Structure 1
């Protein structure tokens, strides 16, 4: 028996890093104010790390969806795999040429376009889609704030979030 409503529990779980970082920041601040010398400096350093956890948690919280969507996403050793009710597939992050968000369908889908083969479509609410944040953060040249802004915007249509540098230079040469 749970004393917390499921909606409140989901909200707390979505922002878990922010909550943990806030508690740690308050704890280390109390420790710093009640101590002196080297212990006080250690407390301030730990407080700074807790603030970094809060900032990272804000980004992760903004990326996380409600979950419970169609299909399951797995990220194992640099490969994104999607198991869906109607489609599925896998794309190695090293072979990824472009990343887009397709808001034309309901729900919106991530489009992972590899060098060869078909694009992998992943609903943003798929179970385990939170792991995509770590995968996307590792893409060279991707601006996380740009990704979050596009994901939270209510623009229907296809929006390119990221292209690999060599792909972008080939596109620039065409124009």
Structure 2
């Protein structure tokens, strides 16, 4: 039995990771203050470590939450080492990370919410893989695409939050 409404439970479940890292950063800040005031260097250093870890992991967690769709979409994303595969009822395919030439996020808020935003991954050969943000396993794309040098997930977050139709280039291969 829960004392929280189901909507609040769902919201807390979505934000559980950022809340945990924010709590770690806050606990570290308390240890820093107590260690400094009480001249306890071990507590001070532990506080610095906790605060740095919490803040360092808070930003990627916030990106994951903002790039996650609130409504599920069709299809499944499977990530196996450097290969991203999308299996959907109307299409799909796979791309290998070394052959990726461009990564975009397309916003189409006029379309039903389940497919309002999508990743578009274009290869060197010009093939495109379109993955809805709400597809099962799509939250793993941030970790899979993070090795691309200079990738700008903040541009994707801005595109999703803007609620306007358009494309945001998250990454483009140099040259």
| TM-score, scaled relative to structure 1 | 0.80
Alignment size in residue pairs: 166
Alpha-carbon contact 2:31-2:46 (below 8 Å) kept: no
Alignment correspondent of 2:7: 7
Residue aligning to 1:54: 58
Q: Equivalent residue of 2:93, what SS?
A: strand
**Higher alpha-carbon deviation: 82-91 or 8-17:** 8-17
Partner of 1:90: 94
| 2: CA distance, partners of 1:77 / 1:56 | 20
TM-score by length of 2: 0.80
CA-CA distance at 1:84 after TM superposition: 0.6
Q: Is the 8 A contact 2:29 2:47 kept in 1?
A: yes
Aligned to 1:140: 149
The answer on whether the counterparts of 1:28 and 1:47 sit within 8 Å (CA) in structure 2 is: yes
Shift in Å at residue 89 of structure 1? 0.9
Change (3 A) 1:156 1:3: same
Name the CA distance, whole Å, in 2 between partners of 1:78 and 1:109: 20
Matched position secondary structure for 1:101: strand
Moved over 4 A (4+): none
TM-superposed CA distance for 1:87, in Å, is 1.0
For structure 1, the residue ranges without an aligned partner over 5 or more in a row are: 167-175
CA contact (8 A) 1:78 1:92 kept: yes
Which residue number in structure 2 is paired with residue 20 of structure 1? 20
Q: In 1, Cα distance between the equivalents of 2:118 and 2:153?
A: 18
In the alignment, the residues of structure 2 paired with residue 25 and residue 141 of structure 1 have an alpha-carbon distance, to the nearest angstrom, of: 26
* Cα deviation, residue 82, structure 1: 0.7
- Alignment CA distance shift 1:93-1:30 (3 Å): same
Separation in structure 2 between the aligned mates of residue 163 and residue 73 of structure 1, nearest angstrom: 22
